Structure 1
């Protein structure tokens, strides 16, 4: 007589979903840095750049409708403009709006002194992205290190190395199909024409105008509350400054407002505060010196500001 055996159901062990950030880091190793969408900051852009970015995102979300008329969303863009104008911030924000990690590659990740190594580094980067099988926004900064024009090269070993790396990059760009590719340069005139043509979009990011400077100064001045009239004065005085320089300026002001009382030093004169910050916050050598940094009378004009600013929440 056969006994009935009661079997316990086997419990299926479900493997937790793999974090795409960790998978990318494992596949890429030291060839790139991986940034999460949650760490992105919204850039303050002029209207034309903002419009280009919004249209691109709209194209991506309208892929099926575009297919019906025989076109595809654009997949890459070259960003160019002065240093510190927010090219990296823009790319990270774009990635975050799409919910994708951003893979950041600098020239230090690619250019090597050993013959043939730079091309191998480029290939290793794209092979790692393919192995990860995770959609990303690939952002290549200071791309002129690899993509500079070949016309002015003299044919030495260094030039041969750069030519080899660029040849590999051009081929890998054609094969790239796991997301979107953005590159940035401060030297658009020096980019190789073949490399330039590989991009669907070329977006110039200029120094911020008055309205953008007003918004940037207000953002990085928080949690101190500056009157609109004072923000107008600062936005006018900082004509020619990049977003990165404006951030350094306002963060320097905040540090000074906090630290000077601990040193038994007064904070009641805005000219003194800004002069001390300006002495330790200089624009990069390749940029024209902005008005506030080159004109002592502009600094003196800040005496009209309501000072010192109050922290938000501390006002009576």
Structure 2
């Protein structure tokens, strides 16, 4: 299991060879107001800035390019997940030593980049998460804090990896992490999916404190965004932890069946009449509950076999590569 510990702030980025650049990745959609100044602030701290313009309808791409960024443009808006996948793929062409990712809306402070990068560059971690809730006191609106802590609880419990800020978009990645992480969930649930992948790929993760500034109200409805993330988490649990997901659902349905069964017995004792309707519902609940539990066990075993096959194939490819 990965060790998750707070890491002290660093004043300077450790020296890095010219052959392997440190890259900043900024996914952006209609961020013309902030993108130019953000790129200018980030460039002195890294070797290259890649901006993935996710189908913006304003001057985001133009201003980012004029500020000195390498711009990769999507023809239409495809969501943050696709933008990050595009950015990772493009960054790998430059053989990076590390990559730091931050949001394009100006909420993250460029001065925190050295602290976020340092654990990766010093080989202390594969992924570093910039946390808004470690040590630093940030002026975060109450509704954001409430929603974030709720999502933290759900994500931490279901993923098996504990973070103080599961939804932070300010992160750093090693070359290994960039190669292994590929995201599938749509929308803005990429941070939650990443937490599941950290466990699956056994990547080392630490957190460092960061500062944030909210200059504008959120583009997305907070309630809608929260529900989208929770829906993503449920999908991820079903895919990556089928035993937990289906067994929990099965036990819940069985509990409903047992409660209804007790109620039927109570009615029969009092009135000497059998509640046939409730009886049918009880039988259905018990059958469905048992089926869900067995489905969880079967899917868990199947997933284990597939992972073993995948690992065996990877090991064989590595051995063949060494022989050559």
TM-score by length of structure 2 reads 0.24
Structure showing greater radius of gyration is: 1
TM-score by length of structure 1 reads 0.24
